[in-house]
Copies of this chain bind each other. A is one copy, B any other.
């Protein structure tokens, strides 16, 4: 028996929220493995990635089946296309958590270079950006989506600050170069996670307002 479209839509949203929550946990755990120097956490993150990968396939299948079965018109179709795109963004965030774990594994082999303040801060901000971007999607809240996109600058600034600080370490002592490089890479993975949430935010704004802000077309036309 075919279930009602709205019911399936609700379940699709729940699965996306669950996937995003999983990615968020993977990211905060990968940074925790690094800051608390606990390698055992890395294995847990890897297990969660297997789950996230299966979820990506499941969510894609759900959305495509809904398209095929219900042949939704304008608004609902656009929502399902957005769900497919957001699903990809979430899975890529999980990949970034794995990259952070890879860097953490290298860093844990050596003594800490410095107390980590900005990297956990970046992880905290991006975690909230994930939550808010998904909430914006399920609630179709363009204002919340805009606030996510704005916070991307804050994350970029932190990344630049981390880079400048670690560069001074590398310049003054070549023995710090490898560790500094790994920390710079971690900050770049976190920056990419923020980019993924911004992609989600822009998708939501487009979906809600029917206006594509992905490339700031209107601004460009005015110049």
A88 CB contact (under 8 Å) in B85, B174, B181: B85
A204 nearest CB across to chain B (Å): 15
Chain B residues whose C-beta falls within 8 Å of the C-beta of A184 in the assembled complex: 181
Q: Does A44 contact B (CB under 8 A)?
A: no
Nearest neighbor of A195 in chain B, beta-carbon distance: B95
A158 nearest CB across to chain B (Å): 17
- Asked if A167 and B178 make an inter-chain contact with CB atoms under 8 angstroms apart, the answer reads yes
CB contact list, A39-92 vs B, under 8 A: 50, 53-54, 56-57, 60, 64, 67-68, 71, 73-74, 77-78, 81, 84-85, 88
A164 nearest CB across to chain B (Å): 11
With A54-B217, A171-B174 in contact, is A77–B68 under 8 Å at CB? yes
Further contacts, 17 of them, CB under 8 A, given A53-B217, A171-B174, A172-B174:
A53-B214, A54-B217, A56-B214, A57-B212, A64-B81, A67-B67, A67-B81, A68-B74, A68-B77, A84-B85, A85-B85, A88-B88, A170-B170, A171-B177, A174-B174, A177-B177, A181-B184
Chain A residues within CB distance 8 Å of chain B: 50, 53-54, 56-57, 60, 64, 67-68, 71, 73-74, 77-78, 81, 84-85, 88, 167, 170-172, 174, 177-178, 181, 184, 212, 214-215, 217, 220
